Structure formats: structure tokens, C-alpha cells
């Protein structure tokens, strides 16, 4: 059954490109290559450690792009609160927080216009990894539990594999935004550190609001063409809904 969602999100912004490169020079080159095929960028830990993170944020803002600061804040609550507050006024739209209820609450307290997304279960983890970490429940049960807590605490959304989104929608409706990473074309599913993966169409049909795509675009022979193909697939999904 196709669930989809009815939020008023510009279709062109539903694709978030994971700008996973080592430095600003590589990032800017990719941004220029992609041009108007990408409107939303995810800036993660690799770029944060590469230096001049906020110069790149400013560079994107000047080009009318939206920014997802995927930093996965995880520390004692007061430290997380102070760190998240540093994003105020930077033009960042989304950020991620990892951890227990008190950590999430600390981020929510200072979020203002920033949207806080709670990490549920990383898409690089499967049932065996959860066993190693001491979790006895199924992956979808853990994702739902964490999403429920995030909603109660006041988070704006969660990060969840497209495999679990349908269950989130069944139990929580449209009250949370859902970003689904681990998006892979079917032919590219081998030799990959992402384990719980879905296609573009599956993610949106299951109810995702946004998808994150990185390597399938970055490693393509023509990154802009690949991004345009994905944008077309997204447009088709929502055209069929209507």
C-alpha cells in the first residue's frame, strides 16, 4: 500500500544531497557541478573536521540552498545544549541529535527556528549489529520506540531507514518529519556499508518526507544528470499521488 505524505514541502527540496567530501574546495566544486539540480545539502562530520564548516554554510546560503547540519550531537545534555545553540542565526534548517531523552530535551530547549531530528537506528546497522550492542528488540520496534519518545520530547522529526517509515506512519501519522538515508539504486546495492536500504520510490511510497542521497550522485559519471534523474523520480512519485 502506498502511504506517501501530504506535507506542503517543495518537491525539489525532498532530495538532500550528502556532501560527504574532505574539504570545502571539493565541496564547492561539487556544488557548482550540481547547480540547480540540488537545493538541499547535508553537511556532516567529515566536513566539520575539514575546517571552515561555517564558511561553507555561508557559501550555500548565498546561493539560496538549504542546509542540514548532520552533526549527530551526542554528549552530556548541557554540552549538547550549548553546542546546538551555536547554530542559531547560521541559516541552518535541520540538525541531528543522538542519545537519550535528556540529550534530546536539551537540544529542543534551544532549537528556536532550527528543526531537531532524532537519530533512531543508523542505516549501517542490522539485526546482528543490534545484538552486539545488547538490544534484544527488533529494529522496527526500536525505531518506533525512539520516534515516539522524540515526538513526546518535542523533536521535529527523526532519521529512519525507509524500511521502517511505514510503521512510523501507521502509529504516529504525519506528526513527525522523516528523513530517510541509505537510498540506493537497485543495481548499486553490493559492497556498501549501508545495510538497511531502499530505493527512491520505496522511501516515498512508505511515507518519507525527505531522502538523503550521497555516493550514487557523487560517484556517478555525470553527478548533475544523476541528481536530475532522482529529482524526476521524486516528481513522478508525487505526481502519481495526485
Please give the positions annotated as active site. 72
CB 182 within 8 A of CB 197: yes
3-class DSSP assignment, residue 214: coil
| DSSP for residue 207 | T
Select from 81, 82, 13, 18 the least CA-distant residue to 47.
18
Are the C-beta atoms of 84 and 109 separated by less than 8 Å?
Answer: no
The set of residues, in sequence order, having a beta carbon less than 8 Å from that of 230 and lying 6+ positions away, is 15, 200, 213, 216, 217
* Residue among 128, 130, 126, 92 at smallest CA distance from 111: 92
Residue 62 CA from chain centroid, whole number: 22
Does an H or E element contain 51, and which? none
**CB neighbour class for 14 (10 Å; exposed up to 12, middle 13-18, buried from 19):** buried
**Alpha carbons 117 and 179: distance in angstroms, whole number:** 8
Answer whether 175's CB lies under 8 Å from 207's CB. no
Amino acid at each position: 500500500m502506498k502511504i506517501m505524505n501530504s506535507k506542503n514541502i517543495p518537491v525539489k527540496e525532498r532530495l538532500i544531497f550528502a556532501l560527504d567530501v574532505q574539504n570545502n574546495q571539493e565541496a564547492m566544486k561539487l556544488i557548482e557541478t550540481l547547480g540547480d539540480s540540488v537545493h538541499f545539502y547535508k553537511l556532516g562530520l567529515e566536513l566539520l573536521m575539514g575546517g571552515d564548516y561555517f564558511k561553507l554554510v555561508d557559501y550555500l546560503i548565498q546561493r539560496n540552498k538549504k542546509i542540514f547540519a548532520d552533526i549527530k550531537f551526542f554528549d552530556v545534555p548541557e554540552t549538547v545544549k550549548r553546542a546546538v545553540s551555536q547554530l542559531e542565526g547560521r541559516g541552518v534548517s535541520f540538525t541531528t541529535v543522538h542519545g537519550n531523552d535528556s540529550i534530546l530535551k536539551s537540544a529542543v530547549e534551544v532549537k528556536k527556528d532550527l528543526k531537531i531530528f532524532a537519530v533512531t537506528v543508523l542505516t549501517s546497522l542490522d539485526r546482528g549489529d543490534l545484538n552486539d550492542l545488547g538490544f534484544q528488540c527488533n529494529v522496527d520496534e526500536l525505531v518506533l520506540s525512539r520516534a515516539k519518545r522524540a515526538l513526546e520530547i518535542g523533536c521535529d522529526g527523526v532519521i529512519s531507514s525507509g524500511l521502517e517509515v511505514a510503521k512510523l506512519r501507521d502509529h504516529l501519522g504525519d506528526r513527525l518529519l522523516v528523513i530517510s538515508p541509505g537510498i540506493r539504486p537497485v543495481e548499486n546495492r553490493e559492497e556498501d556499508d549501508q545495510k538497511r536500504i531502499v530505493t527512491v520510490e520505496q522511501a516515498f511510497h512508505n511515507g518519507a518526507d525527505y531522502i538523503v542521497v550521497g555516493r550514487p550522485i557523487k560517484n556517478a559519471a555525470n553527478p548533475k544528470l544523476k541528481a536530475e534523474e532522482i529529482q524526476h523520480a521524486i516528481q513522478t512519485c508525487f505526481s502519481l499521488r495526485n
